[in-house]
Amino acid sequence: MQKLFQGVEGVVDRSEELKQNASGVAAVRRARSTDKLKEECGVVAIHGHPDAARMAYLGLYALQHRGQESAGIATADGQKLANIKGMGLVSEIFTDDVMDKLPGPMAIGHTRYSTTGDSALLNAQPIRVESTKGLIAIAHNGNLVNLGNLRAAMERDGVYFQTTSDSEMIVQLIAHSNAGTLVDAIADSLKTVEGAFSIVMMTRDRIFAARDPRGFRPLSMGRIKNPDGPDTIVFASETCAFDLLRAEYERDVLPGELVMVTEDGVTSRQYASGVAQSSCIFEHVYFARPDSRIYGRWVQESRDAMGRRLARESGVPADVIVPVPDSGVTAAIGYAEESGVPFRFGLIRNHYVGRTFIQPEQRVRDFGVKLKLNPVRNLLEGKRVVLIDDSIIRGTTSRKIVRMVRGAGAKEVHLRISCPPTVSPCFYGVDTPSKRDLIAANHSIEGIRQYIEADSLAYLSLGGLLKCCATKNPSGEDAGYCTACYTGVYPTDWVDVREILAAQ
Ligand code: SF4
C-alpha cells in the first residue's frame, strides 16, 4: 500500500491498491447502484483523552454504517492541528503507523458517504481551513440547502474554496466573519446557513459541537469519567459509538445549540430558537443502528413498534414472517409477535459482498441480489410468506427478492414495508434518486405490487409511523419529524423545484 503524508495535513493515498482490487471509489459507485437509500455521514469528537485519535477511530468504527466512502481524523495538541483522511473504510485507512501521526488530547473524525460535492478525497473530511481566527477543522453530517446563493456571493467577495463540499461553506463563513470572538463567529455562521447540519469543529485548543435549528440529524454528547482529572467529553452521531468508547450518554445536543468544550469545561449557547423541530424520521426507519438512542428514543423500540403496527394495519393470513436482512429484522420481529405468525430467517445475507464485489458488466448485474441474499428453501417451500422490508426505492431489488422467494417454492409472497411510500427526494443529507426514479412517485400501490410481482403489498401509514417514533424533547414537548420523502412537504424554504415537480 502506498501512503503519502504531507506535513501535518496528510492523505492516505491508496490509488495503486484501488487499481488492483477495485475497492474504494469504484466500489462506492457500485454501492450506489443498489436499490437502497444511502446513509449520510457520521461524526465523532473527543476532548481530553491522552489517545484522542484512537478514541476517534473507535467512534468512527461504530459509525461505519453511516458512510463507507472516505474517513478522516484530525487531532490537536494545543499547538498543532494534524489531519489525515483517505478513501475507504476506517480500518483500511487508519493503520497503526497512520495513527502514530495523530498526536494530542483532542480529535474530531468523520466517515463519509458523499451527498454533495464530488466523490473524491478532495471532499473527504475533516476539512481544515486557515483563518484570521486560527486553524479550524470541521466534520459535518447533513446537507446545506442555500448553498448556491451563498457560495456564489462569497466567491464574488474573493473567498477561495478548497473543496466542492457544502461543509466548507460553514468554515469559510467562520473564517471571514467580522465577529470579535470565535464562538460568536461560529454562531453567526450557523445562523446564515440553511439545511441539515450536525457538526463537530476543532481549533488548536477547543472542540465545538452544534446542530441545525431544526435538528435534522442526530448528535449526542457523552462522558468518560476520569477519577484522576477532568472527564473526557465525547460527541457522536449515534450513541452506539459511546458503547465502544465506554462513555456514558449524557444528553443530545439540542437543535439550534452550540456546545463548546475547553480545558475549563463545557459551556453552551442557543444560537437559534423558535424554529419547529424536524428531525429525520428515516433515521428511525433505516439509517441509525437499532442499538442507538436518537432524538430521545431507542431505534430498536421504534422499529419493533413499526412492525407491530404494520401487522395491525395490514395483516394477512400467513405461515411465516421473513425479514429482508439486515434492516428489516427488527420490524419483522415486531410483526411476528403481534400477528402470532412464526419469525424465520428465510433469507440469508452474505456479509462479505458489496464493497469489494466486482460487477463490471451489464450481463452479470442480475447476480447482484443473489450474491447478497440467498433463500432458505426448506423454510419457504409451500408456505405463505410475509416479507418485511424498510423501503422500496426503485422497485428493482424488491422484485428480485419476491421472485427469489417464489423461486424457492413459496406458495404466496406478501410484501410489507415499515414506512410509507417514498415519493420525494431528500435534500437534507440522504442520497435519494430523483423523483422520476422513485417507483412510488410514479405508480399506485397496486401498480407497484404488479411490478414487483407480489401477491399483496402494503406500507405503514404516515400516522402510524409518527406514532411509532413519538418522543419528547427535553422541554417535554412532542419532538417534530421531517417526513418530506413521504409527503413532498419540505420543512425548509429552499429546495430545487425541478426535483419536486411531478415526474412526466
Ligand atoms: S426527506 Fe426523508 S430522508 Fe430526508 S431528512 Fe426528511 S425524512 Fe429524512
216 lines ligand 1 (CB under 6 A): yes
Query: What is d(CA 44, CA 237) in angstroms, rounded to the nearest whole number?
Result: 7
Q: Do 314 and 246 share a structural domain?
A: no
Please identify, by atom number, the ligand 1 atom nearest to the C-alpha of residue 432: 3
- Examine the domain organization and report whether 211 and 300 are in the same domain: no
What's the pLDDT at 161?
79
Q: Is the CB of 280 under 6 A from ligand 1?
A: yes
How many domains are contained in the chain?
Answer: 2
Q: Is the CB of 426 under 6 A from ligand 1?
A: yes
Q: Which of 279, 428, 489 to mutate to test the pocket of ligand 1 (most atoms within 8 A of CB)?
A: 428
- What is the dihedral sign for C-alpha 170, 215, 264, 75? negative
pLDDT band of 148, cuts 50, 70, 90 = low
Domain that holds residue 228: 9-275
> Considering the domain boundaries, does residue 191 fall inside one?
yes
Question: Of the candidates 114, 97, 129, which has an alpha carbon nearest to the alpha carbon of residue 28?
Answer: 114
Q: What is the pLDDT of residue 150?
A: 74
Secondary structure, 3-state, 227-260: CCCCCEEEEECCCHHHHHHCCEEEEECCCCEEEE
> Do both 302 and 205 map to the same domain?
no
Query: Does residue 351 fall inside a structural domain?
Result: yes
Among residues 212, 243, 275, the one where a domain terminates is 275
Q: Which of 413, 416, 453 is nearest to 319 (CA)?
A: 413
Tell me how far the alpha carbon of residue 5 lies from the centroid of ligand 1, in angstroms.
Answer: 38
Is residue 253 domain-shared with residue 325, that is, in the same domain?
no
Check pocket membership of 483 for ligand 1, CB cut-off 6 A.
yes
DSSP string, 159-203: PPPS-S-THHHHHHHHHT---SSHHHHHHHHHHH--EEEEEEEE-
Do 233 and 301 lie in one domain? The reply is: no
Q: What is the enclosing helix (H) or strand (E) of 210?
A: strand 207-211
Q: Is residue 103 part of a domain?
A: yes
Same domain as 162, residue 21: yes
**What is the per-residue pLDDT across 165-185, written as a single tens digit (0 to 9) for each?**
777 888 888 888 888 889 999
Same domain for 260 and 301: no
- CATH code where residue 210 lies: 3.60.20.10
33 and 130 inside one domain: yes
> How many angstroms separate the alpha carbon of residue 351 from the centre of ligand 1?
27
Question: ∠ CA(329), CA(243), CA(466), 5° rounding?
Answer: 45
Q: Which atom of ligand 1 is nearest to the CA of 422?
A: 2
In-domain check, residue 477: no
Q: What is the pLDDT of residues 86-95, one digit of tens each?
A: 988 999 999 9
* Cα-Cα-Cα-Cα dihedral sign, residues 494, 500, 501, 504: positive
68, 355 in Cβ contact below 8 A? yes
The reply to whether 446 falls in a domain is yes
Distance CA 93, CA 287 (A): 23
Same-domain check for residues 219 and 313: no
- Give the chain's mean pLDDT: 86
Cell of 115: 451527498
For ligand 1, whether the C-beta of 485 sits within 6 Å is yes
Q: Any idea what the CATH number is for the domain that residue 355 is in? A: 3.40.50.2020
261 and 403 in a single domain? The answer is no
Atom of ligand 1 nearest to the CA of 283: 8
Q: Among 247, 275, 303, identify where a domain stops.
A: 275
CA of 217 to the centre of ligand 1 (A): 10
Tell me whether residue 484 is in a domain: no
The residue with greater pLDDT, 411 or 358, is 411
Whether residue 336 lies inside any domain: the answer is yes
Q: What is the pTM of this model?
A: 0.88
62 close to 105: Cβ distance less than 8 angstroms: no
State yes or no: pLDDT of 448 exceeds 90.
yes
Q: How far apart are CA 334 and CA 311, in angstroms?
A: 8
Q: Does residue 140 belong to any structural domain of this protein?
A: yes
pLDDT in tens, 301-358: 999 999 999 999 999 999 999 999 988 999 999 999 999 999 999 999 887 765 444 4
User: Do 302 and 257 belong to one domain?
Assistant: no
The answer to whether residue 81 scores a pLDDT higher than 60 is: yes
Q: Please state the atom number of ligand 1 nearest to the C-alpha of residue 37.
A: 3
Closest residue by Cα to atom 8, ligand 1, is 280
Residues 227 and 195 in one domain: yes
Q: Probe ligand 1: pick from 144, 197, 426, 500, max atoms within 8 Å of CB?
A: 426
